């Protein structure tokens, strides 16, 4: 097991809510023995509620083994993940979820600083819960991947903060808020500044611990040369020579490519997701306050008639 991973293990292997367990059982039914783990994350986990759309990642050994469809397997391998919408009946209520399918290998790659898109590691530097893990190997892979997400987040966050050379003097909240603003701006995600603030405000002490764990791991690998804190919560962090400048430069270079990848991902999800137009409009209303009602014709033919609704929100710059 990786060192400095106590926080990750504590968060991952807590008891799961019954609604999340029910969805994990449905994912096991869908993907069979290829399913290695199910991660629960996002706003419903943070609010401890099943009111809304629950968010999951289904991690599989191999895409071909996970699907009965060669086309779905090829699409997943070409541009992971595939995203699906799912509804189940549970304890007399109808619950909704969306889930993304990643192979364990692609998931681990998506947590590294070299990953093109920030979305995956930015989600999983936040708390998540392993609703299902098939065996010890799957559990170890989850811990290692999520520790890597913390390391990547802290490196990127340090590179965003003002400072000279390789040293940054900061309070933890400044790093995490800068990081979340930047990563949401890099994705086609309709998040307001208020919603970004909620991510850190939900548990500030957790993010202090996360910063400490990531810094200790990075220092072990020689990527940080010094980490000091004082009694007032101010941190002085010194990176290896030129590391922060390189990280900042690479982030800027990747951002246009990441946006293109996000557009392609959105188009692919429109095919795999299912009844995507009502969901997309519900999501926009939830995050922007803009309510748009699709007509019956738009629901029947979303690819032809549904896009003007989304374009109206894009035009108003409410979808970032």
Q: Which pTM value belongs to this model?
A: 0.85
Q: Give pLDDT, residue 185.
A: 74
- φ and ψ at 116, to 5 degrees? -65, -45
Average model confidence (pLDDT) for the chain? 87
Write out pLDDT tens, residues 74-112: 999 999 999 998 889 998 998 999 999 999 999 999 999
Q: Give pLDDT, residue 318.
A: 46
* Cβ proximity of 123 and 184 under 8 Å: no
How many other C-beta atoms can be found within 10 angstroms of the C-beta atom of residue 5? 18
Choice between 114 and 313, residue whose per-residue pLDDT is larger: 114
Q: Give pLDDT, residue 228.
A: 95
Residue 141 neighbours by CB under 8 Å, 6+ apart: 36, 37, 59, 104, 108
Domains delineated in the chain: 6-262 (3.30.460.10), 276-315 (no CATH)
pLDDT at 118 over 60: yes
CA distance 84 to 100: 6
Choice between 193 and 263, residue whose per-residue pLDDT is larger: 263
Q: Give pLDDT, residue 70.
A: 92
User: Alpha helices, DSSP H only, in the chain?
Assistant: 6-12, 18-31, 43-47, 63-66, 70-78, 104-110, 119-124, 136-160, 172-185, 193-201, 204-220, 243-272, 276-288, 296-300, 307-315
pLDDT at 290 over 90: no
If you average pLDDT over residues 271-277, what whole number do you get?
68
pLDDT at 262 over 90: no
3-state class of 315 per DSSP? helix
* Cβ proximity of 320 and 184 under 8 Å: yes
Terminal CA-CA length for the chain: 38
Q: Give pLDDT, residue 310.
A: 66
Write out pLDDT tens, residues 128-187: 999 999 999 999 999 999 999 999 999 999 999 998 899 999 999 999 999 998 888 776
Q: Give pLDDT, residue 152.
A: 97
Q: Give pLDDT, residue 119.
A: 87
Percentage of the chain exceeding pLDDT 90: 63
Token output for 2: 């990786």
Q: Give pLDDT, residue 197.
A: 83
pLDDT at 26 over 70: yes
Q: Give pLDDT, residue 205.
A: 96
Which of 9-18, 221-230, 245-254, 295-304 has the lowest average pLDDT? 295-304
Choice between 35 and 259, residue whose per-residue pLDDT is larger: 35
Write out pLDDT tens, residues 180-212: 988 887 766 556 677 778 899 999 999 999 999
Percentage of the chain exceeding pLDDT 70: 84
Q: Give pLDDT, residue 192.
A: 64
Choice between 217 and 274, residue whose per-residue pLDDT is larger: 217
């Amino acid at each position: 097991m990786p060192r400095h991973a106590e926080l990750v293990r504590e968060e991952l292997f807590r008891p799961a809510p019954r609604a999340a367990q029910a969805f994990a059982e449905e994912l096991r039914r869908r993907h069979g023995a290829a399913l290695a783990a199910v991660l629960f994350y996002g706003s419903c986990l943070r609010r401890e509620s099943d009111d809304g759309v629950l968010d999951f990642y289904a991690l599989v050994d191999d895409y071909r083994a996970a699907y009965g469809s060669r086309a779905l397997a090829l699409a997943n391998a070409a541009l992971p993940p595939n995203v699906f919408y799912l509804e189940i009946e549970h304890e007399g209520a109808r619950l909704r979820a969306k889930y993304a399918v990643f192979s364990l290998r692609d998931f681990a790659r998506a947590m590294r600083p070299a990953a093109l898109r920030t979305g995956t590691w930015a989600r999983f530097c936040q708390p998540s819960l392993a609703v299902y893990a098939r065996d010890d190997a799957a559990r170890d892979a989850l811990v290692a991947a999520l520790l890597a997400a913390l390391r990547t987040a802290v490196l990127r966050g340090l590179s965003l903060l003002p400072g000279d050379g390789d040293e940054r003097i900061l309070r933890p909240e400044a790093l995490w808020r800068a990081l979340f603003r930047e990563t949401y701006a890099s994705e086609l995600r309709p998040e307001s500044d208020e919603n970004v603030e909620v991510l850190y405000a939900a548990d500030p002490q957790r993010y202090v611990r996360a910063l400490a764990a990531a810094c200790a791991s990075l220092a072990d690998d020689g990527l940080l040369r010094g980490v000091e804190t004082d009694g007032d919560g101010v941190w002085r962090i010194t990176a290896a020579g030129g590391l922060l400048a390189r990280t900042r430069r690479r982030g800027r270079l990747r951002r246009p490519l990441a946006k293109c990848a996000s557009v392609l991902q959105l188009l692919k999800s429109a095919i795999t997701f299912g009844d995507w137009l009502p969901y997309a409009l519900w999501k926009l209303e939830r995050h922007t306050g803009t309510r748009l009602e699709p007509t019956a014709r738009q629901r029947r033919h979303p690819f032809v008639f549904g896009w003007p609704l989304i374009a109206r929100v894009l035009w108003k710059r409410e979808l970032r």
